[in-house]
Structures are given as structure tokens and as C-alpha cells.
Chains A and B, each alone.
Chain A
Amino acid sequence: MTARQHKLINQPAAIVDEMLAGFCAAYSDIVRLDGRLVQRAQPKAAGKVGLVIGNGSGHEPAMLGWVGEGLFDVNIAGEIFTAPGPDSIVEGIRAADRGAGVLLCVSHHAGDRLNAEIALELCAAEGINNVDMVLLYDDISSAPPGREAERRGTAGLFFVWKMLGAYCEGQVSLSQAKALAEKARDNTRSLAMSLSSCASPVTGEVMFEIAADEMEIGMGLHGEVGMGRQKSLPADATIDLMLPPILQDLPFTAGDEVLVLLNNSGSLTLMELYILYRRVAQKLAAADIRVYKAWVGAYATTQEMAGFALSLCRVDAQLKALWDAPANGAAMKQL
């Protein structure tokens, strides 16, 4: 399957700034733009832990859509598929500081982690104390069980963002916030697949080659290839292939309650996603795993890639309550 290489943009060098300008104009009741920082239109009250995340652009809505009440305080936008540099991360940390410490969330990729580490060193050197980072990951295809900390951060972090955001609306400490993020992370597992590649908005080139009758399982958020290629399968057979390794990894077992996300990587249709979700629901019911809530949609994308990620998060009473707490981001609303 070929990628759609023609993008409706103005010029590659202006993509990020023009995209941010449009996003913040569209959702001006929720966010405001300050350079490359997307901030809440109404800052969180003083005395609460600030939440920041940086990420490469090109995955919209991704974390842009998760700035707002009950969610992040600040999102630092990087270049396309490129983590922001340390100076802008420090700026984001300053902007999110409400006097009770700032937690820098890192969706685990080498660039995000390295720049976050440098940013924290800069904070220490500049006397900005009470800042910490938490490394978040969920993709089971990127490292085997026992080496979870080497895994990539992908669409399943959706659960962590929401719960952590709700938690930091309360009077909690920085260390409590970090522990909550780790708890949500450690109960989350994801696996992605793709039928097609996508074109880099920067170079216009297709990011990887894949034959028309093949699919890749274990796709990263940047089209990094994962577990391997195989002949494409129908929807049910694809879920039957992907769900068991997710369930075994945690493991999710009979009696567990879970949140489910079926995230569109870009150009699958909702029709296809609903067909896929139907099979997920059947298989989970058969395994006696109860779905507390499910989401089907495009939350973290990789341009026009035709694929999806399946993510599960095991929840207890605390995580369910945090999930159900109010949130108002452009891409995540909870009444």
C-alpha cells in the first residue's frame, strides 16, 4: 500500500508553527500559544503540581489535545517527529510551575529522554528545584518482559495522561504524582500494527517500504518497524494475533477490569476500527476481562499511516475514579 505523499501544507519549514497557530486559534477557550509552548488558557491554581510534556510534532492531536483542565499544564512542541531541545523544555517547566513542583513526563524515545535529562541538569544549575521526570512506556513489541524500561512510549500512554492529570488537580506532592504515573504506566500495555507507510512532512519521502499485501506488527509512533512483517489478515484474525501477547505480557487475567483504546494511526476508517473493536470486545468477554470504558479514535497519529494501536490499562478503584474525573482538553473531554 503506498503512502499519500502530497500534503496540503504551505512550506515544510513552517509546518509546526502554522499547525500550532491553527490549533490554538481553534481551541482558544482551552489553550494559548507562547512560542512553542501550548499552555492552558486558564492556569491551574497555585500550590498544585505542574505537569509538562514535550514531544515531536506530526502526531496530532497527541499531547496538544491533552492540555487543559484535568490534564497537562504545558505541552512543548518539537519539530516533526523530533523531541524539543533542552532550553524549550526548561521554558515549559518554568511555565508549568505553580509552586508545588513540576513533573516532566517523558514518552520513552531516545531523543525525548536525552533532552529531558539535559533539561533537568539545566534546571538544577539554574536553581529550579522540585522538578522530576517520569519515563513512560507501553509498547510490548520494543523489548521483552523484564526489560520494560527499554520499551517505547506509544498510544497507550493516553491512560496515564488522563489519570495523572486528574490526580494533579488535587493536593498531591511531586513524589506522589510520579508514583501515580508509574502505577498507571505499569498497568498499561500496547501493541500496534500498520498496513501502510506514511510520508515525512519534512522530506516528502515515504518513511519505510511495505508491500501491498503485507502488514507490520509492532509499529512505533514514527513508523519504526517492530516485530516483523507478515501477510495481511482480515480484521478478526489481526486482533486474534495481537490481543494474546498483550494479555500475556502484564498479564491481564480473568476478573480484571480494563480501559481499552483502539487508536487510529492515521488513515484507517472508523468503520474499520469499529469492526476491529467488535472483535476486541468479544475476545475480552471470552477471557472474562471486563471493559470499564473504551475509546475508538485518532488520539496519537503518524501522519496518514494506515494502522492502529490496541492498548489496555488495568484499573482499580483509584484509577477508575481518576479516569472519570473531569477533563477539558481539545482531544479529551470528560464530563
Chain B
Amino acid sequence: MNSIGAEELRGMLMALAARVAEERAALNRLDAALGDGDHGSSISAAFALAAADCAALGEASLQSLWLRTAKMLLNGMGGASGALFGSFFLSGARQLQGVERLEKCQMAALLRAGLEGVMARGKAKVGDKTMVDALAPAVAAFAAADDYSQAWRQAALAARAGAASTRSLVPRQGRAKYLGERAIGIQDPGATTIALLFEAADTWWRNLTDEKT
């Protein structure tokens, strides 16, 4: 398979929602060390809303699914996470106007637009101990890979490594900023969620194409 249509994309969004729901408690625990301990609860609830909304959409376009997801994350979650995860989807939605199937290079551009949207909104750069530390390397790895199969795998690996790299960082954005050096040693929950999402996308792709993981 070398392109993704609306039905596949809907399946991917369901898979993402299922994965963050499984990790709800673990994400809450990470957030408890850096924030107010509810990141897992809020992101899993918002993705569940998005998945339910996309499931109920009937015949859908790529753009409508991406846009619905953006809106459900923005409004279903609220807070900084809602604004930033929502901006990821919102920023790329315009590129999907009239697109019926996404080639790998189009998906790479969609993810790139999402990264740029998150960075413009949150003003975070790589190294600030935020979701950008996982998202930026994942987007770059996805773009550099030859095909979808390689792209999802490399992006997932890069996101996981990026999330792990946040452990040694001092936060420079968001609520954790006020902890300063006391946050060293703790992995950023937003970056962790990004890693989970890319890993879920990779697994979804393997299942879809029946490739061995």
C-alpha cells in the first residue's frame, strides 16, 4: 500500500485514541511530577471524543476527519495540551483540501505543517523539554524515509528517542518551567504522548498492511 485514504485515516485515528487510553494512568503519573497529574486523563478523553466524532461522521473526507480531530482536541481538552495538540491537526488541515489519498510525501508535508503549527503556537524549540522534542525528530525521520513502512517505523523510533531525551532537559516552556532544575530526570508527558502516537501509527500501519512488526 502506498497511499492512505479517508477510511484508512479514520482507522488510524481510532488506533491513536485506543493507545492513549491504554496509557492514561502512566501519563497521569508522569504529569504529576511536572504538572497537575491529569495529562493522561485529559488527552485520552479528548482523543476518545475525536474518535467517536470521526466514527459518527459517516462518509468523510481526509480533510473533514483531520479538522474534526483538531476541533475535538482543541475544545474537548482545553488547557495548553488542547491548544497544542489541536494546533498540530489544525495547521495541516488546509493542505487536505480536495485530497482523496495521501502519498507518503504528502503525509510528510502534513506532519511538517503540524509541527510548524505547534511551534508557532507554543513558541517552544527543540531542547525546551516539550512535545516538540519528540515531534521534530519524528517529522524529520518520517520525511527522510523512502516509503510509508519505513517512515512510520523511523518516526516512531525517533519520537521515542526524542521523548527519552527530555529527561535530562530543564523545562523552558509551560507549567513545568517553574520547576527549573528540579524537573531534570523526569520525561516530559507531552513528548511521551507524541512517542505513543507515532508508535500507535506504526503498529496500525503494520496491522493494516499485514506486515510483520
How far apart are A50's CB and chain B's nearest CB, in angstroms? 22
How far apart are A275's CB and chain B's nearest CB, in angstroms? 28
Interface residues of A in 192-242 (CB under 8 A from B): 200, 202-203, 205-208, 218, 220, 222-226
Contact A226 B178 (CB under 8 A): yes
- Chain B residues with Cβ below 8 Å from A202 are 37-38, 41-42
Contact A114 B122 (CB under 8 A): yes
Contact B38 A80 (CB under 8 A): yes
- Chain A residues with Cβ below 8 Å from B29 are 205
Residue from B37, B82, B86, B122 in contact with A203 in the complex, judged by beta carbons closer than 8 Å: B37
Residue A111 interfacial (CB < 8 Å): yes
How far apart are B72's CB and chain A's nearest CB, in angstroms? 9
Residues of A in contact (CB 8 Å), total 36
| Closest residue on chain B to residue A80 by CB atoms | B38
Residue B173 interfacial (CB < 8 Å): yes
- Count of CB-CB pairs between chains A and B under 8 Å: 109
Interface residues of B in 6-43 (CB under 8 A from A): 28-29, 32, 35-38, 41-42
Among A87, A114, A224: residue with most chain B CB under 10 A: A114
A110–B174 CA distance with the chains assembled, in angstroms: 6
Residue from B37, B74, B82, B178 in contact with A200 in the complex, judged by beta carbons closer than 8 Å: B37
A141–B28 CA distance with the chains assembled, in angstroms: 26
Residue B81 interfacial (CB < 8 Å): yes
Residue B162 interfacial (CB < 8 Å): no
Residue from B37, B71, B83, B179 in contact with A111 in the complex, judged by beta carbons closer than 8 Å: B83
| Closest residue on chain B to residue A76 by CB atoms | B78
- Chain B residues with Cβ below 8 Å from A200 are 32, 36-38
Contact B179 A205 (CB under 8 A): no
- Chain A residues with Cβ below 8 Å from B174 are 110
How far apart are B138's CB and chain A's nearest CB, in angstroms? 22
Residue A264 interfacial (CB < 8 Å): no
Residue from A87, A208, A222, A226 in contact with B75 in the complex, judged by beta carbons closer than 8 Å: A87
Contact B178 A111 (CB under 8 A): no
Residue from B28, B38, B80, B179 in contact with A114 in the complex, judged by beta carbons closer than 8 Å: B80
Contact A207 B37 (CB under 8 A): yes
Majority secondary structure, A binding face: loop
Contact B77 A82 (CB under 8 A): yes
How far apart are B117's CB and chain A's nearest CB, in angstroms? 11
Contact B32 A111 (CB under 8 A): no
How far apart are A157's CB and chain B's nearest CB, in angstroms? 17
Q: Quick one: given A78-B78, A87-B74, A118-B74, are A203 and B41 in contact (CB under 8 Å)?
A: yes
Q: Quick one: given A81-B36, A81-B38, A205-B37, are A152 and B78 in contact (CB under 8 Å)?
A: no
Residue A266 interfacial (CB < 8 Å): no
| Closest residue on chain A to residue B76 by CB atoms | A85
Contact B80 A203 (CB under 8 A): no
How far apart are B78's CB and chain A's nearest CB, in angstroms? 4
Interface residues of A in 135-158 (CB under 8 A from B): 141-142, 152
A141–B180 CA distance with the chains assembled, in angstroms: 12
Q: Quick one: given A152-B178, A224-B178, A224-B179, are A111 and B78 in contact (CB under 8 Å)?
A: yes
How far apart are A24's CB and chain B's nearest CB, in angstroms? 20
- Chain B residues with Cβ below 8 Å from A78 are 78-79
Q: Mark B43-79, 1 if CB is under 8 A from A, else 0.
A: 0000000000000000000000000000100111111
Known: A87-B74, A114-B84, A117-B83; 4 extra A-B contacts, CB below 8 A, are: A88-B75, A115-B74, A118-B74, A208-B32
Residue positions of A touching B, CB distance < 8 A = 56, 78-88, 109-111, 114-115, 117-118, 141-142, 152, 200, 202-203, 205-208, 218, 220, 222-226
**Which 7 interchain pairs have the tightest Cβ spacing?**
A114-B83, A85-B75, A111-B79, A111-B80, A82-B79, A110-B80, A85-B78
